[in-house]
Amino acid sequence: MRKFMVMSGFLGSGKTTTMMALTDYLNHNGCSAAMISNDLGRKGLADHCYSRAAGVVSEEISGECICFITEDLVERLRRLYNDKGCELIMSDIPGFGVGALEHVYYKLRDLYPDECELAPFTVITEGASLSKLMEDSGSPAAVEGGESALPDEMRYLLRSQLLEGDLIVLNKADLYTEEEKAKYLELIRSICPDTPVLTVSAVTGEGIPELADYLRSHVTEYPELDFGVTEEQFEAAFGKLSMYNCQYYTRVCCDDFSADDYLTDLAAEIQDKLREGGYDTPHLKLFGQREDGAYSKVDLLGVNREIIITHAMGGRCIDLPVVLNTTSAADPIDLTNIIDASILDVSGRYGLSVTVFYKESFGLNDEGRL
Ligand SMILES: Nc1nc2c(ncn2[C@@H]2O[C@H](COP(=O)(O)OP(=O)(O)OP(=O)(O)O)[C@@H](O)[C@H]2O)c(=O)[nH]1
Ligand SMILES: [Mg+2]
């Protein structure tokens, strides 16, 4: 079998976590699998660092959505199939992305028909996104641990992403009551009445074997595309979002420190400042790894939600390389100022020096980016 699949879904819905769980499960159950983390931004993004640190077979395609670099994607797939003996390869796309069905699946079918089979185009969703779709205009969505402050324009993306799927996966099942789960499934059915839906928890592993079997045994049906959303509405949604990525190295002047506490405090500082500025973040990721491989991963999925320590390092360290990535609903210059100031403030509190290796930030609609 030489199979490829794309996993789409909104920022923070659990694409990376689900691909990690699937890759790991498949590799332990008779199918050689690999995942590709794809995002805008320079090489060495948090998702790839995290999946590699966790020991999952993973690669990275950064700088451009796989939608627009078909030849590079095909080259990468060939290497994984031919040199590494992979049978099922999965890649995500940036979490605000729509259109990969057309740009990846249709192009692979038309230009590279004998390259590989295409598994169902899989869309991950979860309670926070579905609550955003459910809320009445003007009344914020209640999600686990807080209300969404995301702009209403995000609904164009959330709805279109669902419509693009051959398969919809309701993730984070461990967080819902039976009543909530039923409400989310009903909403999905009302938007996509004919699309199969599986429920999983990428964190507990519930439903992962069933999802893996489904992907192995089914192929895409090339769903018809009619989002019912105008170009202007997509532009309005993208216009609300900005990206900030940086990598820096931090070192304590004396004593040692907890990477888990440091990254959590940094996430809290950014959260407070974003909230004060009237902004929200669907996903802020912080990753730090000690020289011996021990790592800390902290996530924030909204200004009104609890900070998540996704993986605790546990011990202490004297220095730490840090990767910080976010796509936030904020002005790009304000976002940069907020994060830069937070890094300096919190590092100062811990007595840490900061050496920035690289930093980039831009609005998704900014013109002139090469
Ligand atoms: N409780 C719970 N948390 C989950 C589950 N799946 C993912 N998460 C958490 O949700 C957060 C975001 O998950 P990611 O996998 O990074 O989300 P993503 O879709 O890759 O996000 P982007 O890369 O920003 O588009 C992390 O803190 C995960 O640990 C789940 O099944 N249950
Ligand atoms: Mg991800």
What ligand has the least distance to the C-alpha of 37?
2
Report the nearest atom of ligand 1 relative to the CA of 92: 20
Is 149 among the domain residues? Answer: yes
40 CA to centre of ligand 2 in angstroms:
11
Is 22 among the domain residues? Answer: yes
Pick the last residue of a domain from 234, 260, 284. 234
- Domain count of the fold of the chain: 2
Angle formed at CA 345 by CA 343 and CA 349, multiple of 5 degrees: 115
Q: Are residues 262 and 228 in the same domain?
A: no
Distances (CA, A) of 367 to 160, 190, 239, 362, 364: 24, 37, 11, 9, 9
Give the pLDDT confidence of 113-168 residue by residue, as tens digits: 999 999 999 999 999 999 999 875 455 555 555 678 899 999 999 999 999 999 99
pLDDT on residue 137: 46
Report the nearest atom of ligand 1 relative to the CA of 201: 31
Q: Are residues 219 and 257 in the same domain?
A: no
Q: Are residues 58 and 162 in the same domain?
A: yes
Q: What is the mean pLDDT of residues 71-91?
A: 97
Query: With contact defined as beta carbons under 8 Å apart, do 123 and 162 qualify?
Result: yes
**Closest-CA residue to 350 (of 282, 258, 271):** 258
Which of 8, 13, 17 has most ligand 1 atoms within 8 Å of CB, for mutation? Answer: 17
Residue 130 in tokens: 């579905």
Q: Are residues 307 and 330 in the same domain?
A: yes
Q: What is the DSSP string of 155-223?
A: HHHHHHHHHT-SEEEE--GGG--HHHHHHHHHHHHHH-TTS-EEE--TTT-TTHHHHHHHHHH------
What ligand has the least distance to the C-alpha of 96?
1
Is 369 among the domain residues? Answer: no
Q: Are residues 78 and 212 in the same domain?
A: yes
d(CA 94, CA 333): 21
Q: Are residues 227 and 327 in the same domain?
A: no
Pick the last residue of a domain from 171, 199, 234. 234
d(CA 327, CA 347): 22
d(CA 351, CA 342): 14
Q: What is the mean pLDDT of the chain?
A: 94
Is 370 among the domain residues? Answer: no
- Beta-carbon contacts of residue 367 (< 8 Å; ≥ 6 apart): none
Percentage of residues in the chain having pLDDT higher than 70: 96
Q: Residue whose CA is closest, atom 7 of ligand 1? A: 14
Give the pLDDT confidence of 205-255 residue by residue, as tens digits: 999 999 999 999 999 999 888 888 999 999 999 999 999 999 999 999 889
Give the pLDDT confidence of 312-332 residue by residue, as tens digits: 999 999 999 999 999 999 999
Q: Which single residue is written with the structure tokens 């009543």?
A: 179
Task: Report residues whose beta carbon is within 6 angstroms of any ligand 1 atom.
Answer: 9, 11-17, 47, 95, 171-172, 174-175, 201-203, 283, 299, 301, 308, 310
Q: Are residues 222 and 246 in the same domain?
A: no
Pick the last residue of a domain from 189, 219, 234. 234
Query: With contact defined as beta carbons under 8 Å apart, do 175 and 259 qualify?
Result: no
Report the nearest atom of ligand 1 relative to the CA of 17: 15
Is 45 among the domain residues? Answer: yes
Q: Are residues 178 and 214 in the same domain?
A: yes
pLDDT on residue 142: 54
Q: Are residues 212 and 265 in the same domain?
A: no
Percentage of residues in the chain having pLDDT higher than 90: 90
Q: Are residues 60 and 135 in the same domain?
A: yes
Q: Residue whose CA is closest, atom 8 of ligand 1? A: 14
Q: Are residues 29 and 80 in the same domain?
A: yes
47 CA to centre of ligand 2 in angstroms:
5
Is 117 among the domain residues? Answer: yes
Is 77 among the domain residues? Answer: yes
Ligand 2 ion: residues within 5 Å (CB): 15-16, 47
Query: With contact defined as beta carbons under 8 Å apart, do 303 and 275 qualify?
Result: yes
Q: Residue whose CA is closest, atom 24 of ligand 1? A: 11
Q: Full-prediction pTM beyond 0.85?
A: yes
CA atoms within 13 A on the CB side of 203: 12
Query: With contact defined as beta carbons under 8 Å apart, do 363 and 239 qualify?
Result: yes
Write out the residue range of the structural domain in which residue 117 sits: 3-234
Report the nearest atom of ligand 1 relative to the CA of 308: 27
Residue type, 326: T
Q: Are residues 286 and 154 in the same domain?
A: no
Is 368 among the domain residues? Answer: no
What ligand has the least distance to the C-alpha of 199?
1
Lowest mean pLDDT of 162-176, 214-228, 297-311, name the range: 214-228
CATH number for position 282: 3.30.70
Q: Residue whose CA is closest, atom 15 of ligand 1? A: 14
CATH number for position 220: 3.40.50.300
111 CA to centre of ligand 1 in angstroms:
33
